[in-house]
Structure 1
């Protein structure tokens, strides 16, 4: 295992010959901060000080500049305090997170789509001492001392250059769950003890040292955060925009080698007639419709990689272009150092092709929710909360285990119907969910965004021709758009409220 990790890191250019300055900076940064964001920027400042680290709406910052600026900014915070970040994708988000690491403060990544009431509850539950926020969110901020992100520049410029504490207390990183099925919970993310987690992702996604990476997925989300952390390990240049615009994203891609997206963003970019050349498009954050996967591979070439995971387990599997060309709906195979099990309700492994509960083991399982609860575990593996099956070694996700319905005594999986309907001509987006039924206990309802020529009967006929009769949605609603959270996930509870 150690040998494979080293070989993967060497292949990606993470481990490579260093001059005296680069070696000294790497070692001194490690002695002060271990393998953290602070170490990453100190290492980058020593190895490639003049390389662009961040390109955003405000310009360019080099690795040396980010290292110095975050040391100055760290003096604005205190060891042990808890900082909430309510920001879009820009330098202020990254610099605040890194400054927290340098001083030993906790960072709570706040979803920009939360309401005032939700933010107040999160601030109370997470015991947030201070918030760094974009000024656009002033109207929803809780009663907590706040730095606005446009004030950070002054804190940086006026910050002292005195040395920071050596070996500060280890700050914690807390991400909120998506909240699509309930109130968002705080999930404590572990700091990696080595570069093995980076090697796991690089074993399936061919990113390279010095890549230029556009991160369109929100940094407060686990997928955007992973892109940032992996890019830092690679000494990459990160391209950030406060707001996603498909045309701007594709213009940015002209100077990029890789792009991290969530599926709905990829779908929006496919609507723009421009195809820049990229080596990697990495997608995650929600289910990737097979039609979107196939069209991306056809129009951009064999560059699409799809990661299946969650806030709690980080990653479970990654699908390569070759695997999705053969099976567009697959979630791929576990990367290096990852274990995967499909089990029944008693925790026993199921046969290949049989649907069961998905459990995962890797080096980045979360440390539990901040309310003291955790995910179910089994023999060192953690539940993803999803159902799936294995076919020829490839993982297929059937959907959330709490979304499966029983209709007339038959198990029915909304995700299977969604994937099927997404391939129907005229369908742009679709969400399927279970609703109460007096005769069968439950039935499916489909919410479709699509062409005006589509009819409910055409939708039902397509499902009836391909799946069992209990999978045919009794209710078909045509809507202008699906409700999504700030990370791009469909919030099905809002669809239920329309019934």
Structure 2
């Protein structure tokens, strides 16, 4: 009789307890554990003891440890960690004078610049909660979130003033300034009293909004992350003390804010730009000699889509030789994007799979992406993962089921109530996946995206990847629609490369030649661009509501990509 193969269950928690030396080796390898000024080290320890391990404690500690190290570089210039300490103290005192205190909510609607960091640190020092708003919100989404969470103050870039006029937010304060007379601003508060602030009794929370691609955005609060979170990522991805990191992913997104928080441990120099532009990104990486690059997949797509003559204007060889890690997250890597990127920029790509609710879950490094480009890699240190069926039983390798994850960053439930299903301490990610024979995780798709076509389960992601591999397709997405013969079929949407002329039948034949017949979309629509939000995720509700006879085809009430 053939022996039964036990299902793969990743659990390093017990190993961690037995061998804390592995954590020490990871920290030593990152350059964090090394000889330092003992006075600065003591002050750092005291700061963490008084302020906790969140933004307040981490950045106060860095101001003692590396006061003169450059912390931020943006369009306005550079700031040291001592500058951030002084500025956030002054802003915190000014906000306290306005009545902001422990337990209050402060919404932050800022692009990637110093004001986002100033506001985050000041709010944390008061023991208030920071609610990060999507900068691509349309009026209805913004009104809904602000009425639900009722922040006491909204700190926002001036460009959003008109949008906020439709809300009932009590007080507002401008961060990034575009006009000559914006009134009182965050920057005007910096010149005030910058003496150290008394630590609050309550540590503030960070509240991240879900993407809202299939429903209204939900607010997912988090308590302070411990050092375990950083160790987990560093166990499968290089992150070194003192690196210069271009954080292109939006800071309001889970992936962007994660690297802001990792900076408090690593003393990173954060290179920020308010808007993403593929050519500007290359120029920024080149000019500032970045060691790492934090992106969402659509940003890599846009860079690779630049004409060769524009790419040739930059020292790509120099950029590639300096980049030690390109860290991608936020959505799946479509088609052969991983291979195309590494062929151009080197084998330094790391793709992180996770969600707003569970944070990180698994990491695919360059070796994983070379050997299995469609895999999500393996869970990092300190992370548990199981594939469960509908009854909560573990499935064998190769069987697709619901993905459940356990780590130190599971969220505590939505502010509006409810949360994700939890089984034996592991939280559902909302995705369907399987463990392959190579021990890697493979994502089939969202559990609510799956359709049953002719009695067969079909996930859009597999068909999207197939379409993306057609030489004339630059982007693709699929959604389920009703079908008289099969019950449900997929409708495909594709964006063609410049100058391409592939028609619907050509693309259907391509899918038919590569996948099972029942996976061929009922129709394939060629459009100029896919509707995406600011974190690069496709807005599937807009695709599902597509109408061929309307002006644009789409309902544009969703927050769109505005990079």
Say whether the fold is shared (TM-score over 0.5): yes
Q: Give 1:162 deviation, angstroms.
A: 4.0
Q: Give 1:63 deviation, angstroms.
A: 0.7
Answering whether residue 417 of structure 2 is matched by residue 372 of structure 1, we say yes
Q: Partner residue of 1:394? A: 440
Q: Which runs of 5+ in 2 are unaligned?
A: 1-15, 178-184, 548-563
Q: Partner residue of 2:536? A: 488
Q: Partner residue of 2:40? A: 22
| Correspondence for 2:111 among 88, 108, 127 | 88
Q: Deviations over 1:155-202 (max 9, x none)?
A: 1112x134422344211211111000010010011211x311100000
Quote the Cα distance in structure 2 between the aligned partners of 1:185 and 1:489.
Answer: 16
Q: Partner residue of 2:556? A: none
Answering whether residue 168 of structure 2 is matched by residue 146 of structure 1, we say no
| Correspondence for 1:415 among 461, 478, 481 | 461
Quote the Cα distance in structure 2 between the aligned partners of 1:109 and 1:480.
Answer: 30
Quote the Cα distance in structure 2 between the aligned partners of 1:331 and 1:290.
Answer: 13
SS in 2 for 1:433: strand
Q: Give 1:23 deviation, angstroms.
A: 1.4
Answering whether residue 264 of structure 2 is matched by residue 232 of structure 1, we say yes
Quote the Cα distance in structure 2 between the aligned partners of 1:241 and 1:401.
Answer: 35
Q: Partner residue of 1:330? A: 375
Q: Deviations over 1:232-290 (max 9, x none)?
A: 21101000000001111111112100000000001111134142121100000011113
Q: Partner residue of 2:400? A: 355
SS in 1 for 2:88: helix
Q: Partner residue of 1:97? A: 120
Quote the Cα distance in structure 1 between the aligned partners of 2:195 and 2:505.
Answer: 71
Query: Do the aligned partners of 1:33 and 1:168 also contact (CA within 8 Å) in 2?
Result: no
Q: Partner residue of 1:172? A: 205
SS in 1 for 2:221: strand
Q: Give 1:14 deviation, angstroms.
A: 1.6
Q: Partner residue of 1:181? A: 214
Answering whether residue 66 of structure 2 is matched by residue 48 of structure 1, we say yes
Q: Deviations over 1:443-468 (max 9, x none)?
A: 01100001432111121111111211
Quote the Cα distance in structure 2 between the aligned partners of 1:415 and 1:51.
Answer: 44
Q: Deviations over 1:112-139 (max 9, x none)?
A: 1111222121111112111000010111
Q: Give 1:490 deviation, angstroms.
A: 0.6
Quote the Cα distance in structure 2 between the aligned partners of 1:242 and 1:213.
Answer: 15
SS in 2 for 1:444: strand
Q: How does 1:245-284 map to 2 (within 5 A)?
A: 245-254=277-286, 255-272=289-306, 273=311, 274=314, 275=316, 276-277=319-320, 278-284=323-329
Q: How does 1:271-310 map to 2 (within 5 A)?
A: 271-272=305-306, 273=311, 274=314, 275=316, 276-277=319-320, 278-310=323-355
Quote the Cα distance in structure 1 between the aligned partners of 2:85 and 2:388.
Answer: 46
Q: Partner residue of 1:121? A: 144
Q: Give 1:38 deviation, angstroms.
A: 1.6
Between the two proteins, the alignment pairs up a number of residues equal to 497
Quote the Cα distance in structure 1 between the aligned partners of 2:326 and 2:417.
Answer: 36
Deviates more, 1:22-31 or 1:108-117: 22-31
Quote the Cα distance in structure 2 between the aligned partners of 1:222 and 1:425.
Answer: 33
Q: How does 1:391-470 map to 2 (within 5 A)?
A: 391=436, 392-451=438-497, 452-470=500-518
Q: Give 1:435 deviation, angstroms.
A: 0.5
SS in 1 for 2:130: strand
Using CA pairs below 8 Å that are at least 6 residues apart, which structure has the higher relative contact order? 2
Quote the Cα distance in structure 1 between the aligned partners of 2:194 and 2:112.
Answer: 27
Q: Which runs of 5+ in 1 are unaligned?
A: none
Q: Partner residue of 1:135? A: 158
